[in-house]
Amino acid sequence: MKVTLRQKFTLFASLLVLVVASGVGVSLYLAERLYLVQRIQQSQIEMVQVLSQIGREALANNSELLLSSYLALVRRSRALSYAMVLAADGRILAHSNVILVGQKPTDPITRKALETQSLLRQVMDVSGDQLIDLSLPIYVSGRRGATARVGYSQSATRQLVDESLAAARRRIAFATAIALLFGLGGALLLAYYIARPIQHLRDGVREIGEGALHHRLEVTSRDELGDLAEEVNIMAQKLEELDQMKQDFVSNVTHELRSPLTSLRGYVEFLLRGDAGALNEEQTEQLIVVKNNAARLAKFIDNLLDVAKIEASKTELHPESVSLQKLCREMLVLFRPQAHEKNIEFAGAVPENVSPVWADADKTSEILINLLSNAFKFTPPQGRVTLSASDEGELVHVSVRDTGIGIPAASLQSVFNKFEQVKPTEGLVRKTKGTGLGLTIVKGFVEAQQGKVWLESQLNVGTTVHFTLPKFKPDAGHAFDDGESEEADLARPV
């Protein structure tokens, strides 16, 4: 499956926006979590510092009520397991659990707390949970009079952090979604504005490649793409000049060749009639070879002139009511020797009730001759060639079908180009020769008569060339130039 540049850029930009937005969201979440943890830890330190200050005031004023009141207040703090003040000998002077007042704990954590000279942080396991114990000495009149201690449950602290982060997660998720929405929208717009000039450039190059050398790209930007469009326009201009030089050369050469060729054919006919004296058998055969080759060269020159007129839109047409049944009978007679020689079955399937077409009889005949010549050329012995026609609305549909070697799918769009020939690789058709102008002339003559031409083909099965011609004379303003009188223009439709 083909992936366009716009799709690639949109996908890349969207992934980039997704990664950046997700990364920013995760970073904000982690930063918020770290901030909350640090803030809680700082509040725990402040708690033991405040307890130490109140303990100092209570000891200095010998007021245990102040200390008890404060501990009764802080016991409601979430995640706090205990808060106490220890005397110098380790006895509990005040505790958030009044039942423990007066006791003297002797655990290692308590001993280290009594010995510390500054803020001490310890971790201990209690009933499957970790407790963070913070200790700070209390100095009264320069002497250590007691120790302040607070303990926090690690699991309760984490729960407190998670609850605080829940709201932060919602805010971050909402902000990330908004950023993603705007980012993806921006990516789509950016992809569109970047891919649009490239698509414009591609379409223009394709049109030039299909033969419209007069086409020029519109330069709307002053960047690298604009420079590229300018270079393409310069290339198209040079190609158009070269093509015009080629057409002028071919036209001049073909016109210059016709006069001496006509003279040559006239002298050959003169000699073959015996007007210059009797000829022996060998001389006659040689002159017949010259005559046949001169006829081939004349046909080639006529084809070149026809192509030149088609390209210049100057094809001369003389439309009239043309019977396809009559043309079919003529083709059957014309190609009967070739069918017999190659042992090919040639059938004409044009019913008597098929409508006549409004077309140039000579040009329509040449269309059929070119198509049938190709069909016989590329159909092996024991094959079949069929000429058929049927009515389709205001058009008549004509088909030339063969059971030949077929055309590769890659060549179907180019077979109507000048000098384009499919290169056969098998069988005797490898020896077939041609100018590559037949289908070009067919396409030009059909389209000049307001018809369409197309083909279907399958390798080693056969090819069918279809074309349509109008049943009736087109209305004024849409008619092709028939070169006839005003009376002919007023003729009734066939």
Q: Is the pLDDT of residue 402 over 90?
A: yes
CATH number, domain of 263, equals 1.10.287
275 with 352, same domain: the answer is: no
Asked whether residue 182 is domain-assigned, the answer is no
463 with 332, same domain: the answer is: yes
Asked whether residue 451 is domain-assigned, the answer is yes
- Look at 45-59, 184-198, 340-354 and tell me which has the smallest mean pLDDT: 184-198
269 with 409, same domain: the answer is: no
Banded pLDDT at 326 (limits 50, 70, 90):
very high
Closest CA to 94 of 133, 64, 125, 123: 64
402 with 263, same domain: the answer is: no
CA distances for 33 relative to 79, 114, 179, angstroms: 17, 33, 21
Banded pLDDT at 477 (limits 50, 70, 90):
very low
Mean pLDDT of 91-114: 90
- What is the pLDDT, as a whole number, of residue 435? 62
Asked whether residue 195 is domain-assigned, the answer is no
Percent of the chain with pLDDT over 70: 88
Q: Is the pLDDT of residue 3 over 70?
A: no
The side-by-side arrangement of strands in the sheet containing 462-470 is: 345-349, 384-392, 395-402, 462-470, 453-458
Convert the pLDDT of each residue in 244-277 to its tens digit: 777 777 667 766 776 787 778 787 887 888 877 7
- What is the pLDDT, as a whole number, of residue 489? 34
The side-by-side arrangement of strands in the sheet containing 120-126 is: 92-95, 80-87, 143-153, 129-140, 120-126
Asked whether residue 218 is domain-assigned, the answer is no
Banded pLDDT at 485 (limits 50, 70, 90):
very low
328 with 293, same domain: the answer is: no
Asked whether residue 213 is domain-assigned, the answer is no
Asked whether residue 235 is domain-assigned, the answer is yes
Q: Give residue for tokens 């009515």.
A: 391
The structure's pTM equals: 0.48
Mean pLDDT of 142-149: 89
Mean pLDDT of 347-356: 90
351 with 452, same domain: the answer is: yes
Banded pLDDT at 137 (limits 50, 70, 90):
very high
Mean pLDDT of 206-212: 76
- What is the pLDDT, as a whole number, of residue 1? 62
Last residue of a domain, one of 160, 175, 210: 160
Q: Is the pLDDT of residue 335 over 70?
A: yes
59 with 112, same domain: the answer is: yes
Average pLDDT for the chain:
82
Distance of alpha carbon 454 from the chain centroid:
27
Mean pLDDT of 132-156: 90
- What is the pLDDT, as a whole number, of residue 149? 92
Top-confidence residue, 373 or 315: 373
CATH number, domain of 377, equals 3.30.565.10
323 with 466, same domain: the answer is: yes
When divided into structural domains, the chain yields a total of 3
Mean pLDDT of 360-377: 91
Last residue of a domain, one of 284, 311, 338: 311
Asked whether residue 445 is domain-assigned, the answer is yes
Asked whether residue 191 is domain-assigned, the answer is no
Q: Domain limits at 262?
A: 224-311
Q: CA dihedral in degrees (261, 265, 270, 273; nearest 10)?
A: 170
Mean pLDDT of 125-130: 81
135 with 31, same domain: the answer is: yes
Mean pLDDT of 125-141: 87
Top-confidence residue, 142 or 53: 53
Closest CA to 17 of 185, 171, 168: 185
323 with 274, same domain: the answer is: no
- What is the pLDDT, as a whole number, of residue 145? 87
Q: Give residue for tokens 């094959």.
A: 383
Task: State how far the Cα of 242 lies from the Cα of 264, in Å rounded to an integer.
Answer: 32
Q: Is the pLDDT of residue 401 over 80?
A: yes
- What is the pLDDT, as a whole number, of residue 5? 67
Identity of the residue numbered 458: Q
- What is the pLDDT, as a whole number, of residue 424? 53
332 with 284, same domain: the answer is: no
387 with 447, same domain: the answer is: yes
- What is the pLDDT, as a whole number, of residue 422? 62
Q: Is the pLDDT of residue 476 over 70?
A: no
Identity of the residue numbered 22: S
Last residue of a domain, one of 311, 337, 361: 311
- What is the pLDDT, as a whole number, of residue 439? 85
CATH number, domain of 17, equals 3.30.450.20
Mention every residue, 6+ apart, whose C-beta is less than 8 A from residue 147: 85, 86, 88, 113, 114, 116, 135, 136, 137, 138
Convert the pLDDT of each residue in 215-255 to its tens digit: 787 777 777 777 888 888 888 888 878 877 777 776 677 66
CA distances for 32 relative to 131, 175, 176, 371, 398, angstroms: 23, 14, 15, 80, 78
Mean pLDDT of 190-211: 78
